[in-house]
């Protein structure tokens, strides 16, 4: 029987509960959002004892369904003040699922001043004081814990940023290679730090495993599902070949590549940071151009990046990090970006928020545009140690703007706008504006339809027509993906391959012995979005927060596109 | 004829306009708020070209009415995001009034990268490039301009904080002694800095002067008005004797003296910073225990503070500065506080917001509680020069909390809560919560009624009964004071002396040839508050922003009082 485990960090106690009926059909984001919306007072201080940190595997995590190992973390975000779900790869989701843990809910805050580690295993959760690893970077923590607990141990950790409760702090998840994946956005690492938890280890020895109601039907459906992924050009060819960095040239060509803190839509050195160049460099140096962030991934959009001497630097170098540091901060050098990515992983800080923050800091005169050496120095010497400048940079793009009196600050609900300029890719702008999470491209990735024709129809990126409907449709679908434990890119075959969603529904029915229909997914999406929004409204957000920053009315070269949606047009998003 | 002068800093042009009929009966805050509400897009970036900075003297400024020389500055606040009016003493209000300038409205933002000075005189306003004074502290600016333009020149200036657009930057106003008074709260100095105006000089030579419709009636009423001020124990005795610092012992006795970042309600060394001690020290050293912030002041609550060697340190050392640095930051030493006050005046930064920020920084481990030497060092070496720590400290208490992961952050609408703990002085808590300006004791000074019986009736500071009604009544009256150009303390005789308000109305009628009634004032207050609130709602504020911070539920010794108003009870404030 699946269970819910609660950890009370105020009392340093744990308890196991049955899954209440209302949460039985939920997983991943749908579950973390339901728990946060029900149990967290929306107006609480996100770093106080009234916030809760919730982890949940997806509905299909732990099964053989392709790419179903994304792990959801949820809480009230200290960065945005909204509800937050952030999901990541790694091995945690599958281990939780095999242990029958539907959700881990961490409450309260110790008054002891001490740090703790949580150990999750088949018997539940235990809490132990931790001192050895406090102050250590994520790499050292993973290495030490792999030695202490064995290489197979699953791990969730925070780095110095999380310990210092920096608002961009992430939570790292160990992957199969002992490397790190991140619950990046919204400062959930600060929430974990506020609860004084340095790490959570997961041991699935003796786990009951995931039981399938109809194994034969499941296997058949899983095969069709996998086929649909491999047959789609994006998930079958583009992403495995170039990684997400394939978008550099595509977005540059569309004139929507944020450059010099969103003042240009194209970067003159885009070739130096393109997916094509990335692939060449990786192959030349003997790295891996294909790599999965989670066991069971058949897309393999990740990679292993080596330096010139052939030493490991980082894996999972994403388009958003490359673009925001490369073009938006003007650092057109993959080696510098990869090193920055590694430093951010070690410090435990969101590489998107931090990269956006660098763009704002450059506009504010803290460092020059393009100064990669200074970016690395600030990461290594300032952010990692929490110097005043490091604290500011770690508190997110919005706060950098406030502290340095910058007017052009690309944030929505105080979360940094990622690597697609909404003026010339308008669909993603609607997602930034309306997402319950603050600016977040993954909440409804309209870029696919705007630039690559995903979903069949064409929605012109430079026109307003159809963008609100597109973003709404995608945001509803995305809840499905985030709740099943699927990676975002499965939205491509889900939209284009007629066999994909039926196979997904078949898998769910075969897993749980249910008779769901594809319409059920839509309902899950609608319900979850509305639950999340109700939380935000209770926290004090209004439609005035569903707006892009004022400077988006400046024309963006080369199209001289402006953000021209009226408030009323944006607000129509919620008419469902 | 009164006029309105507009300065367009984008075009570097000026123009003079007739006063439109809708603004004819307004002055001070009623006028600045009417202009901002009508002309500023509520959702604009407060440091961008769409914000406007408005200066207006009070309706009776420039006449012989006692204490009528407060000068109002208004804009959208970069600190709070709300509408903002902040008023100060000095000579500017009276000079503007004599020049017939009902309001100076500064719009736009230059694209030249240069700094400017504005010269106001009988012919209007001129704009000149300024380079000599850029980067200089306020004292050096005033000295240089007094030499350049003559000792009688009126001045509005910003210091380095305003140039750097720090969110706590103030606007300084020269007083009759060539010392400084401040438009302190809400970061209006950053707005002036964003418009690249280092100073505004005022030359009233050849000014038409204020014409009275009925001089004899005015003189008679002014005499009655002055008598009512001198006969009230607070304005006639307490304030002239001890200054506003008389409140230290009163508030300490009531258990509402914020101590160690609002964790205690009494300070064990309160005697060391009391108004009684302040007076003794000043007299002993040959300073002035009585001093007016504006010509025509008959209360004289200001003072001139000298150091042990008898050298001038500061004037206008207010209770809030003394309390927040003295008790709340634990620096129980008047010499250190006076030096800090002088530094803050020179840097051009709000002494309340900065003092609150120090309390939060101390809780966040940036410096120890009570470390006065480090407070002075941070002011002198960090804030003045805009180092990263200086930038953070200059961005207000709320941002210090965000950057340092502090949970107990005393702000409402991101503005620091001043020197009265709302848990044990509940009336002022309602003012903090509901004021359209963010936490601001001057918006409706319920402390007078809660602790000193002003207004006749008794409203128990520890009970909820009557506080909402009290705060509402006082906030409406305060608009009257802020619009006529009167200092806040005239609220005491206005409440208690039956002759005061009728005399005030008589003066207005004699000045303008009108037939106003005392009820007209109430209407002005109601209309202005509603106009301000409508701006805030348009900017995205809701009743959820009318709340005190979560940590106010912690019991405050010695009464172990908590903030126990429900949201519904607070929201009832606006039922009028």
Q: Distances from the Cα of A3 to the Cαs of A24, A34, A99, A200, in angstroms? A: 10, 16, 9, 18
CA distance B550 to chain A (A): 6
For residues B185-214, give the mean pLDDT: 97
pLDDT surpassing 80 at residue A364 = yes
Contact B45 A550 (CB under 8 A): yes
Domains located in chain A, CATH noted: 3-202 (3.60.9.10)
pLDDT over 80 at A457, yes or no: no
A180 SS3 class: strand
Q: How far is A150 from chain B (nearest CA, A)?
A: 34
**Sheet containing A101-107, strands listed edge to edge, beginning at the edge strand earlier in sequence:** A13-18, A3-8, A101-107, A53-57, A71-76, A83-88
> Would you state the pLDDT for residue B244?
94
Q: Tell me, what's the pLDDT at B457?
A: 74
State the smallest CA–CA distance between residue B14 and chain A in angstroms. 25
User: Which residues in chain B have Cβ-Cβ distances shorter than 8 Å to A190?
Assistant: 405
The tokens of A510 are what?
């075969």
**Beta-sheet strand order (sheet of A116-121):** A124-129, A116-121, A197-202, A154-157, A171-174, A180-183
In A, which residues are within 8 Å of B387 by CB distance?
388
Is the CB of B549 less than 8 angstroms away from the CB of A50? Answer: no
The pLDDT, as a whole number, for residue A458 is: 80
Q: What is the pLDDT of residue B455?
A: 81
Contact yes or no for B391 and A399 at CB 8 A: no
Q: What is the DSSP string of A367-386?
A: S-TT-HHHHHHIIIIIITTT
Contact B403 A387 (CB under 8 A): no
- For chain A, the average pLDDT equals 96
Residue among B193, B402, B540 minimizing CB distance to A395: B402
**Cβ pair B189, B346 in contact under 8 A:** no
CA dihedral A211, A217, A218, A223 (to 10 degrees): 160
Say whether pLDDT at A518 is over 80: yes
Q: What is the ipTM of this complex?
A: 0.95
Q: Evaluate whether A271 touches A277 at the Cβ level (below 8 Å).
A: yes
Nearest to A47 among B50, B387, B407 (CB): B407
A-B CB pairs within 8 A amount to 87
Residue A263 in tokens: 């003042």
Return the structure tokens found at B72: 């109002």
Using DSSP bridges, classify how beta strands A124-129 and B302-306 pair: parallel, antiparallel or unpaired: unpaired
* Range A233-254 average pLDDT: 94
Q: What is the DSSP letter of B328?
A: I
Q: Indicate whether A511 pLDDT > 80.
A: yes
Q: What is the pTM of this model?
A: 0.97
Nearest to A43 among B194, B405, B544 (CB): B544
What pLDDT, on the 0 to 100 scale, is given for residue B326? 98
- The pLDDT assigned to A95 comes to 98
Chain A hits for B357, Cβ within 8 Å: none
Give B389's contacts in chain A (Cβ within 8 Å): 388
Q: What pLDDT is recorded for position A286?
A: 96
pLDDT over 90 at B232, yes or no: yes
**Mapping DSSP to helix (H, G, I), strand (E, B) and coil, where does residue A230 land?**
helix
DSSP letter, residue A169? B
Instruction: Convert the pLDDT of each residue in B13-63 to its tens digit.
Output: 999 999 999 999 999 999 999 999 999 999 999 999 999 999 999 999 999
Taking CA atoms, what residue in B is nearest to A187?
A: B405
- pLDDT-derived band at B438, boundaries 50, 70, 90: very high
Q: How many CA atoms lie within 13 A of A550 on its CB side?
A: 15
User: Which pLDDT belongs to residue B124?
Assistant: 96
Strand partners, A18: A3
B402, closest residue in chain A (CA to CA)? A395
Average pLDDT of the segment spanning B245-255 = 97
Chain A residues within 8 A of B568 when measuring between CB atoms: none
B44 CB neighbours in chain A (<8 A) are 550
pLDDT tens-digit map of A35-94:
999 999 999 999 999 999 999 999 999 999 999 999 999 999 999 999 999 999 999 999
The stretch A484-510 carries a mean pLDDT of: 94
What whole-number distance in Å separates Cα of residue A113 and Cα of residue A107?
Answer: 16
Inter-CA distances, A64 with A57, A68, A298, B569, Å: 14, 8, 11, 55
> Has residue B291 got a pLDDT over 80?
yes
Distance from CA of A121 to the nearest CA of B (A): 32
Chain B residue with the nearest C-alpha to that of A553: B44
Contacts of A547 in chain B (CB under 8 A): 43
Q: Which residues pair with A55 in a beta bridge?
A: A73, A104
CB atoms within 10 A of CB B286: 9
Closest Cα in chain B to A536: B544
Query: Nearest CA of chain B to the CA of A397: how many Å?
Result: 12
In the predicted model, is pLDDT for residue A521 greater than 90? no
Mean pLDDT in residue range B164-178: 96
The dihedral built from the CA positions of residue A489, A490, A495 and A499, taken in this order, carries a sign that is positive
Higher pLDDT pick, A454 / B394: B394
Instruction: Work out the percent of chain A whose per-residue pLDDT is above 90.
Output: 96
State the nearest Cα–Cα gap between B414 and chain A, in angstroms.
12
Cβ–Cβ below 8 Å for A403 and B404? no
pLDDT band at A138 (very low <50, low <70, confident <90, very high): very high
pLDDT (0 to 100) of residue B453? 87
- Complete edge-to-edge strand list for the sheet that includes strand B71-76: B13-18, B3-8, B101-107, B53-57, B71-76, B83-88
The full DSSP string for A501-541 is HHHHHHHHHHHHT----HHHHHHHHHHHHHHHHHHHHHTT-
Q: Which residues contact B557 (CB under 8 A, 6 or more apart)?
A: B255, B264, B265, B266
Average pLDDT over residues B409-430: 98
What is the pLDDT averaged over residues A420-425?
A: 98
* B43 vs A contacts (CB less than 8 Å): 544, 547, 550
- Predicted confidence at residue A281, as pLDDT, reads 97
Stretch B449-459: mean pLDDT:
86
Kindly indicate the confidence band of residue A316, based on its pLDDT and cuts at 50, 70 and 90: confident
Which H helix or E strand runs over A172?
Answer: strand A171-174
Residue with tokens 């009164």, as numbered in its chain: B2
B454 band by pLDDT with thresholds 50, 70 and 90: confident
- Which pair of structure tokens corresponds to residue A420? 């697609």
């Amino acid at each position: 029987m699946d269970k819910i485990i609660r950890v009370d960090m105020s009392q340093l106690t744990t308890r196991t509960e049955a899954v209440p009926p209302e949460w039985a059909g939920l997983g991943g984001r749908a579950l973390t959002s339901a728990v946060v919306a029900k149990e967290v007072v929306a107006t609480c201080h996100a770093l106080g004892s009234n916030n809760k940190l919730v982890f949940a595997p997806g509905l299909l995590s732990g099964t053989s369904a392709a790419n179903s190992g994304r792990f959801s973390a949820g809480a009230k975000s200290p960065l945005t003040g909204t509800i937050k779900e952030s999901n990541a790869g790694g091995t945690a989701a599958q281990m939780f699922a095999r242990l029958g843990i539907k959700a881990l809910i961490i409450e309260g805050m110790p008054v002891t001043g001490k740090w703790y580690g949580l150990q999750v295993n088949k018997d539940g959760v235990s809490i132990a004081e931790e001192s050895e690893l406090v102050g250590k970077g994520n790499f050292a923590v993973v290495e030490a814990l792999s030695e202490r607990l064995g290489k197979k141990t699953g791990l969730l950790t925070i780095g110095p940023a999380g310990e210092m409760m920096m608002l961009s702090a992430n939570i790292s998840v160990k992957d199969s290679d002992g490397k790190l994946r991140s619950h990046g956005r919204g400062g959930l690492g600060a929430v974990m730090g506020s609860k004084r938890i340095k790490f959570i280890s997961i041991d699935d020895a003796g786990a009951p495993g995931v039981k399938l109601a109809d194994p034969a039907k499941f296997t058949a459906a899983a095969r069709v599902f996998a086929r649909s992924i491999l047959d789609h050009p994006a998930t079958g060819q583009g992403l495995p070949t170039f990684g997400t960095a394939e978008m550099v040239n595509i977005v540059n060509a569309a004139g929507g590549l944020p450059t010099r803190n969103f003042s240009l839509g194209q970067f003159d050195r885009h070739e130096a940071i393109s997916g094509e160049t990335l692939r060449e460099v990786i192959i030349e140096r003997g790295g891996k151009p294909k790599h999965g962030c989670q066991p069971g991934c058949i897309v393999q959009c990740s990679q292993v990046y080596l330096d010139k001497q052939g030493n490991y630097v980082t894996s999972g170098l994403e388009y958003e990090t490359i673009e925001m540091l490369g073009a938006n901060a003007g650092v057109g050098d993959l080696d510098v970006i990869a090193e920055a990515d590694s430093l951010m992983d070690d410090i435990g800080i969101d590489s998107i928020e931090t990269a956006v923050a660098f763009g704002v800091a450059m506009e504010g005169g803290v460092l020059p545009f393009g100064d990669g050496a200074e970016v690395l120095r600030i990461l290594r010497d300032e952010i990692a140690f929490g110097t005043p400048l490091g604290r500011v940079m770690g508190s997110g793009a919005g706060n950098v703007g406030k502290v340095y009196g910058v007017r052009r600050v690309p944030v929505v609900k105080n979360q940094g706008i990622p690597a697609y300029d909404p003026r010339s890719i308008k669909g993603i702008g609607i997602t930034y504006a309306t997402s319950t999470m603050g600016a977040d491209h993954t909440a409804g990735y309209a870029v696919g339809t705007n630039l690559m024709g995903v979903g069949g129809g064409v929605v012109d990126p430079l026109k307003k027509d159809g963008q609100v409907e597109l973003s709404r449709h995608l945001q509803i679908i995305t809840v499905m993906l985030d709740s099943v434990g699927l990676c975002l890119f499965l939205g491509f075959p889900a939209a284009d391959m007629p066999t994909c969603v039926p196979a997904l529904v078949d898998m769910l029915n075969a897993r749980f012995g249910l008779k769901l229909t594809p319409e059920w997914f839509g309902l899950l999406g609608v319900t979850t979005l509305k639950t999340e929004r109700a939380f935000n409204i209770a926290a004090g957000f209004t439609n005035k927060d569903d707006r892009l920053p004022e400077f988006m009315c400046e024309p963006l070269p080369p199209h001289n596109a402006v953000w021209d949606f009226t408030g009323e047009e944006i607000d129509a998003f919620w008419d469902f």
